[in-house]
Structure formats: structure tokens, C-alpha cells
Amino acid sequence: MRVFISSDMEGTAGVADWSQCLAGAGDYEYYRGLLQAEVNAAIEGAASAGANEFLVNDSHSKMINLRPDTLAGNARYLSGRHKPLYMMQGLDASFDAIFFISYHGSMSARSPLSHTYNPRAIAEVTLNGVIVGESGINALVALGYGVPIVLITGDDVTVEEAARVSPGIHGAAVKTAVTRFAANSLHPVKACELIRDQAAAAIRSIAAAAPPAIELPATLRVTFRDASLADMATWIVGVERGPGTTITMTDTDPIALFQRFICVVVLTRDIAE
């Protein structure tokens, strides 16, 4: 049984400030160790339930946060930037399950360090009218390959948000959101125990899992922080200008829709930063 793991970092127990999850800042080295432990806990839990092959796609910041020699389960490690499928690079139809580890909520959610791909540019994203964060947008790729998302870890708001698109997903809420910059976290040992248990449960119930519940053709509506970003996004074929600071894009192919969104993110990042 093959498991694809997309690992972010903001959802790690104890993380509540950017300085904790940006390389070269504050206590990053300490908190990257906590992230590694949570990724390993997910792998260990899945392995205990019968999974035997793992691919970890490092999906945070420059995407070089984990230490490959200490990954559990002899997992393959996909790292580095400018990936065509970004946080979902490496996924294909040969996988049986998807884990989202250390994820965070959408920009408009009360979730620690909430954002939707680029906090400097994007204010909100909806998928078929439902507000989504990275878990919901990334679910488009899961749907395209027909692979169920069976586990998400992070704060309680993030877990609830993921369930809107992936009903039945197992969630390990390792912290409770207080504000965008405060969280009440489990002890790291307890957080890993919870993740391990939920990962095992997710794999044991894989027969009942289904790909994300996204109706096709699907529409993404992006609200930017200013109109110039929305104008620039229309340089991409298939992006339509909406009122105010919004744009929309629709496609019957969920992977094509996802990649169009990623093009928008990359294009608008330069002017926003």
C-alpha cells in the first residue's frame, strides 16, 4: 500500500509564529525537528496498519525542511522548489492514500499562521462557492488521480476546513486555534501519539475512503488583496476578471485547474513581494 505525504510546517504542535518555521530565523532548527517527528509519526502509524511504501513531498517554504536520513519507513523524499504540481508533486494514480501533515487553515480562517499559498497576495479562495485553504485546493489533484485524502494534521480549524472537501477524512488536531498568532498545543509527545493513532485508523479504514467530493466542472474564485494583482492574473489563459479584486477560473479537468491556480500564484508573487 502506497501513501503520499505532503508536509507543510505551520500546523506543527507548538508553532504559532513565522520565526518558528522560516529557515535562519528564531528557533527554526528546533521546530523543524518537531515537524520531522510528526511526519515520522504519520509514517509509523500507517506502517503499523499495513502501508509499506511512502513518498514525502516537502511542501513548506523552500521545501528543504526535512532530514531524509531520519525519515521513517525508508520513505522517499521529494524536495526543492518550482515543482509543476507544487505541494502535490509526485502524486499519481498508483497511490492508495494521501496524508496532509502539519497543514494550516485558509487566509480568512481563525487558524494559527493562516494563509492561502501567498498571504501577501491572496485574501480568499473559494472552490465551487466553499471557502478553502491549501488542503481544499490541493484536493483537486487528489481528485484528478482518484486518490482519497485520508488524514490531515494541524489545528482544529484546519481539520474542520479539510472535512468540507474531503468528508470522512481523519483529523489529528495537535493544537487549538486561539488567534492567528496563538495556539494551545499538545505536548509534542502527545501530538505524535495522536498522529500515529489517526494515521493507523485512516489506513485501516481505507476501503471506505473516496476521492474528494468536488463537483466538476469546478470553479476557483480568488480574491486578491488589491486590484492590480487581479489584473495581472488575467494574463494567464483561462482566467476571467471578476468584480473588485476577484478572478475566476473553471475547468472540467481538476489537475489543469490546479495548475492554472499555481501559475496565478507564481505570477502574482513577484509583484506582491
What's the grid cell of residue 212?
Answer: 474528494
The C-alpha angle with vertex 193 and arms to 192 and 194, in degrees rounded to 5, equals 90
Rounded mean pLDDT of 186-207? 98
Distance CA 64, CA 10 (A): 15
| Closest CA relative to residue 107, chosen from 223, 239, 267 | 223
Given a cut of 70, whether residue 273 has pLDDT beyond it is no
Residue 97's CATH number: 3.40.50.10780
| Closest CA relative to residue 38, chosen from 158, 231, 186, 146 | 186
Rounded mean pLDDT of 60-87? 97
* Predicted pLDDT of residue 269: 81
**Does residue 122 form part of some domain?**
no
* Predicted pLDDT of residue 125: 98
What's the grid cell of residue 117?
Answer: 499559498
Lookup result for grid cell 491549501: 134
What b-and-e string marks burial along 204-226, b requiring 16 or more CB atoms within 10 Å of the CB?
eebeebebbebeeebbbbbbbbe
| Closest CA relative to residue 258, chosen from 205, 209, 212 | 212
* Predicted pLDDT of residue 272: 61
Tens-digit pLDDT profile for residues 130-180: 999 999 999 999 999 999 999 999 999 999 999 999 999 999 999 999 999
**Does residue 161 form part of some domain?**
yes
Given a cut of 60, whether residue 127 has pLDDT beyond it is yes
Tens-digit pLDDT profile for residues 211-263: 999 999 999 999 999 999 999 999 999 999 999 999 999 999 999 999 999 99
**Does residue 11 form part of some domain?**
yes
Distance CA 175, CA 267 (A): 33
Rounded mean pLDDT of 19-34? 94
**Does residue 257 form part of some domain?**
no
Domain that holds residue 163: 2-105+145-208
Task: Give the neighbor-by-neighbor strand order of the sheet with 240-241.
Answer: 130-131, 122-127, 218-224, 246-251, 240-241
Tens-digit pLDDT profile for residues 28-69: 999 999 999 999 999 999 999 999 999 999 999 999 999 999
**Total number of domains in the chain:** 1
Inter-residue contact 151 to 199 (CB < 8 Å): yes
Work out the angle between the directed axes of helices 134-145 and 254-272 (0-180°, nearest 10).
Answer: 150
**Does residue 98 form part of some domain?**
yes
